[in-house]
Amino acid sequence: MQVSDAQAEVETLSMTFSMSVMGQEVTGTSQTRLISQDPVEVEMAMQFEMPGFGTMDMRLVDGVVYMSLGEQTDGRFVTIDLATDPMGQEFALMLEQLDPAAQMAAAKEAVLEYRQEGEPETIDGVEATPYVLVLDTAAVMELSGAPTEDLEGVELPETLEYTMFVGPDDLPRRTVTDVMGVQMTMDFSGYGEDVVIEAPSADQVIEGGLQDLFSYAA
């Protein structure tokens, strides 16, 4: 897939996203350095708004996630090691869903149909052509490593469909999905631009995990 090859040539990108789940809106921005397709080796800085929590700040540096609740925790962070923390796998899966290179790698193996559909749109200053990808749901679940034990009794669709807007440089500028009531739009820009992604300083980190972070906020 040409999109996968184009992404392999760039190291950095920026993203804005919006997600609607059961009437709740989650929005955010991120900057990513694609060291490899392994989530542990990707560097990312992300800020997002969640109903009931306000602004959250998440950074991934050297395989460690730093999570803050912004003003609610006075800018303090807790750490989650993707390799050793019990919640590390869940965070790795979430980060993979927000990593366009990882998405393309999974799509490349699970795609059943790939067709151009609709008129180009100007996104990020370029004419981006929409393509519809139809993916095998079972293959996507297997390739992503997503846990399925919590999905017993849930009837998943046989296929997943999403639209990708691709620029003339073969780089994605937008993806749009609507799966089982979860709608998500991700816009990509800033390919190859300089980004600064740093871990918080030691005095900004508190001991404990997410439960301690929420307790600190309370």
pLDDT by residue (tens digit) across 114-131? 899 999 999 999 999 999
Cβ atoms < 10 Å from Cβ of 94: 13
Q: With H, G, I as helix, E, B as strand and everything else as coil, classify residue 209.
A: coil
For the segment 172-187, the average pLDDT, to the nearest whole number, is 88
Q: With H, G, I as helix, E, B as strand and everything else as coil, classify residue 144.
A: helix
CA distance 203 to 199: 11
Q: With H, G, I as helix, E, B as strand and everything else as coil, classify residue 200.
A: coil
For the whole model, what pTM was predicted?
0.81
**Residue 99 structure tokens:** 């990593």
On average, the pLDDT of the chain sits at 82
CATH class of the domain defined by 2-217: mainly beta
Classify residue 120 by its DSSP letter.
-
pLDDT at residue number 125:
93
For the segment 105-111, the average pLDDT, to the nearest whole number, is 75
Domain residue spans of the chain: 2-217
User: Nearest Cα to 210, choosing from 88, 96, 44, 108?
Assistant: 88
- pLDDT at position 147 over 60: no
CB within 8 A of 53, min separation 6: which ones?
69, 72
For the segment 2-31, the average pLDDT, to the nearest whole number, is 81
- pLDDT at position 29 over 90: yes
Q: With H, G, I as helix, E, B as strand and everything else as coil, classify residue 190.
A: coil
Q: Do 161 and 135 form a contact (C-beta atoms < 8 A)? A: yes
Classify residue 199 by its DSSP letter.
P
Q: With H, G, I as helix, E, B as strand and everything else as coil, classify residue 204.
A: helix
The enclosing H or E element of 104 equals helix 100-110
CB within 8 A of 106, min separation 6: which ones?
140, 143, 144
pLDDT at residue number 179:
79
CA distance 127 to 102: 24
User: Nearest Cα to 36, choosing from 15, 17, 63, 59?
Assistant: 63
Residue 6: pLDDT band (50, 70, 90) is low
pLDDT in tens, 43-102: 899 998 877 777 889 999 988 999 898 888 888 898 888 888 877 777 777 776 666 666
User: Nearest Cα to 46, choosing from 27, 63, 24, 72?
Assistant: 27
